[in-house]
Amino acid sequence: MQISDLPVHHKIINRLQTKGFDTLTEIQQKAMLPAISGKDIIASSQTGSGKTLAFLIPAINRLLNEKALSRKDPRVVILAPTRELAKQVFSEAKHLTTGLNLPCALVVGGENYNNQVKVLRKNPAIVVGTAGRIADHLLDKTFFLNGLELLIFDEADRMLDLGFMAQLNLINQFADHRKRQTMLFSATLDNIELTHLSKNLLKAPVRITVGQSTAAHQDITEKLYFADNISHKDTLLTQCINEQQYNQAIVFTATRDDTDRICAMLNEHRLEAIALRGDLPQNQRAQIMSEFSRGQHSILVTTDVASRGLDLLKVGLVVNYDLPKHADEYIHRIGRTGRAGQKGHAVSLVGPRDWQSFTAIQAHLAYPVECQAHSEAPARFNGIKPKPDSANTPAGSSAKTSNKDSTQSALKKTKRRVDTTAGKDVGEMPVMRKKRTPAQPDDDEEQA
């Protein structure tokens, strides 16, 4: 379906075409028409499938074609799980609304609260932010949602993972009126908390599922290599980066300390790397992401702070230096490449400490993934074999003999102790006194 076929305001179509968008993705085709008609939406699709435009276009179209319910309150509120994703959505919304008299505001944590109050007093039509900071403003009565027309949840499952259930319910209560339309987008809908939340938020929603989040991504080539230890991982990392063709790359690590160490190591090899950690100040994090998105750095070394939502079209390689603890996070990490029809590569390094995560990822994905030895730097480690189940031990003389031998050897090694339960009860037996022996006279007494 072409963008020009959408029943939306012509200014939106012109803005999209000037940006180079012509064809809708599958999630956009299935979600936009019900959303434009005013129905509540609950939708899921793989990362990089175009969910942002799937809710922005219907939202802006409604603002252009319908009269506002209130002169002061925001007409659209879009919630995102992280500051980085909120800023990306805000940037996209601002681009689409340029010259349309639909001011946008960004309200996220880590930035000046009073400056946000001043922006909200100017009555923006669209507010994009994180749940925690927006909830704070609502409690402080900085702005109100009595006239809200559209409430949009982007990456709702991630917001629940981060513990924002209370804030999401609070925002829902502040904007609870019958004329509100709600759209909820998530990478997966198989979540008990998400099911409970959606029952409170949505009214007779249209349910849309495009593909499986655990299905193989057609535009991403995945490889997993065995690794012995940290130094071997360092060797494999440089080897994989040098042998792959990419414009930009992201390296995911488990700890903040490793981001700095690996970044310094890559810079020693003149690979133009920069580190991003969750404990950095917000302005510094924003500057790092801005520089990377503009192509000033070739490699971004980061923790899971950059694993979701960021639309970086130049990223052609993702390396999991450490596998994530949660299997679904693996999908979001490798989803930073292969976006918008671009081809990408994902490489994961699997050491002894990663083996449990690797087996969880194998069980979670709907397609097979196998680990192999790297041809240039093979590892001695080749996986941890599961312990045999004693119940499945085959019957036979050899098995009996081995069990008997192992039992006897265990008894020999076991230190014997007194068995206090053996013997007779002697509590009622008479106690015999020891007979006294007469004292022997000394030699001196005998002589006397």
Last residue of a domain, one of 353, 372, 391: 372
Has residue 382 been placed in a domain? no
Q: Which of residues 355, 372, 389 is at a domain's end?
A: 372
Q: Are residues 252 and 311 in the same domain?
A: yes
Report whether pLDDT(440) > 60.
no
Residue 243 sits in the same domain as residue 206? no
Work out whether the CA dihedral 33, 35, 40, 44 comes out positive or negative.
positive
Give percent of the chain above pLDDT 70: 83
Same domain, 195 and 311: no
168 and 31 in one domain?
Answer: yes
Q: Can you give the residue range of the structural domain that contains 31?
A: 3-210
User: Is residue 199 domain-shared with residue 239, that is, in the same domain?
Assistant: no
In a domain, 384, yes or no: no
| Number of Cβ within a 10 Å radius of residue 425 | 6
Is 73 among the domain residues?
Answer: yes
Kindly state whether residue 438 falls inside one of the protein's structural domains.
no
Does the pLDDT at position 442 exceed 80?
no
Number of domains in the chain: 2
User: Is 429 contained in some domain?
Assistant: no
Position 90 scores a pLDDT of 95
> What is the per-residue pLDDT across 122-156, written as a single tens digit (0 to 9) for each?
999 999 999 999 999 999 999 999 999 999 999 88
170-222 pLDDT, tens digit per residue, is 999 999 888 899 999 987 776 778 888 888 899 999 999 886 666 777 888 99
- Domain assignment present for residue 55? The answer is yes
Residue 397, domain member (yes or no): no
Give the C-alpha distances (Å, rounded to integers) separating 158 from 58, 155, 191, 280, 378: 23, 5, 11, 21, 36
Whole-angstrom distance, CA of residue 251 vs CA of residue 228: 19
Mean pLDDT, residues 305-318:
74
Encoded tokens for 300: 């971004």
